[in-house]
Amino acid sequence: MTSTSAKNNGLSAALVSNLQDVLSKRRGGSEEGTVSDGSAEEAPSTSDSVDVSAAEKEIDDSKPIVLVTNGDGIDSPGLVSLVEALVREGLYNVYVCAPQTDKSAAAHSTTPGETIAASSTNINGATAFEVSGTPVDCISLGLSGALFAWSKPILVISGINQGSSCGHQMFYSGAVAGAREALISGVPSLSISLNWKKDESQESDFKDAVGVCLPLINATIRDIEKGVFPKDCSLNIEIPTSPSSNKGFKVTKQSVWRQSPCWQAVSANRHPGAGNFMSNQQSLGAQLAQLGRDASAAGAARRFTTQKKSIVEIESVGVAGKTDSRVKKYFRLEFVTKEQELTDEDLDVKALEDGFVSVTPLPLCPKKDSEIQAAASEWISKALNADQ
C-alpha cells in the first residue's frame, strides 16, 4: 500500500502491511485484495464501487418498475419464484435488491457505519444485487439512487417469506420490515409470506403461492397508477400452507400471536470462534476494523487470564457480584410455535389457519388504523372483483 493510502486510512504503512499479512494467513494464503508483493490494494471509492450502467439492462420506460427484496436471502425459493413470475408477466421492469444471507429475524435493523457490499447476481430477466446487509439496508440502498439509475419504483414487494409473519411476529420479520421501510420512504409496498410447515410444505408450494398473490400484485400496480390504491399503509399478505386450496382472500387485523422464544444451552466445549470469520465480500477497511476488535478482545483476555486462572467459557459474559471468577455460557435462540385458542375470525392468524389468504393493512400511524382498515377492505373487494 502506498503512503497516501496509509494516510487516508489513518494507519501507518507498516501497520497496514502487518495487518494485511494477518488477513492473508487467516484466509489460508493470498486472495483477491492482496497484490503479489503482499501489500493491500486500495478499497474502491464510493463513486465507482458499483458500475450501474454495466449492471443494468436498458429500461423500457413504458413499463413500471417493481423492486423486490426479502428476509430469507436472495437465493431463497420464495424470492426466485416471485421474480421469475413477474418477469414472465412481461408487464414490469423487475429489480431485486435482497440480503446476501438469511436475515429473516432482522426486524427493522440497519447497518450504519459499516461498509455494505452490493454484488450483481443472475436472476433471469431481472437486474439483481445481493447485499451484505439487512432487508431495510437493501430497500434504503435501492431507493437511494446510489445503486440504480432510476428514481423510485411504483411498488416494493418483500417476499415470499418462508414462514408466517402474522401477529407480533411482524415485529421480528425482516420481510415486513423491508416493506415498511419502503412505505416510510413514500413507496407503496406489499410483504408476502407462506405459512411454511416443516413436515408438510415443499418447495413447489412457493410457485402455487405466487399464482395466488399475482392477481393482487397486478391489481395493486394498476390502481397505484390510477391513484386509487390505499395510501399510508402497507399490505401484509399471508398465504396458507396449501396455497392451491385456499378459501379466498380475507381482510384481517393484526393479532397478538407470536412464536415463543426458546433459549437452548450449548455445550461449553464449543467455542464460538465461527463468529469471528469474515465474509469474503467485506472491504479491507471493514476487515481491518474487525482485526482491531479481535486484537483488543484478545489482549483483554490475556490480561484477564494472568489475573484469574479459573475461567469457564460461555457465550454471554457477566460478572456475578464480587466473585473471583467470571462465568461464560453458550446459548442459541430458537422460536417455537405454540398452539393458541383463537376465536376472532378477523384476526390474521385465525384466517390463515382456516385456509384463507390473510391481507392485513399495516399503517405507519396507529391512530388511522380503523380508517385505513375500512379503505383497504373496500379496495381489495373492488380489485379482486375487477379481475374476475
Rounded to the nearest integer, the mean pLDDT of the chain is 77
Q: What would the pLDDT profile of 167-182 be if each residue is shown by its tens digit?
A: 888 888 999 999 999 9
- The more confidently predicted of residues 358 and 337 is 358
List the one residue out of 122, 127, 125, 62 whose CA is nearest residue 88: 125
Q: Is the pLDDT of residue 166 over 70?
A: yes
| Closest to 97 (Cα-Cα) out of 125, 66, 124 | 66
Which of 38-42, 58-62, 191-195 is the most confident on average? 191-195
**Residue 194: pLDDT band by 50, 70, 90 thresholds?**
very high
Q: Does residue 23 have a pLDDT over 70?
A: no
Cell of 230: 390505499
Radius of gyration in angstroms for the set of CA atoms belonging to the chain, rounded to a whole number = 24
* Residue 301 neighbours by CB under 8 Å, 6+ apart: none
Residues 241-279 as b/e (b if ≥16 CB within 10 A, e otherwise) read: bebeebeebbbbbbbebbbeeeeeeeeeeeeeeeeeeee
Distance, C-alpha 59 to centroid of its chain: 26
73 closest CA partner among 151, 134, 143, 8: 134
**135-144 and 174-184 helices, crossing angle to 10°:** 30
Query: How many CA atoms, within 13 angstroms, populate the side-chain half-sphere of residue 235?
Result: 30
* Residue-range domains of the chain with CATH: 65-259+352-368 (3.40.1210.10)
Rounded to whole angstroms, the maximal C-alpha distance in the chain is 76
- What is the residue type of 140? S
CB 379 within 8 A of CB 211: no
Assigned C-alpha cell, 366: 396507529
Q: Contact, 173 vs 348, CB < 8 A? A: no
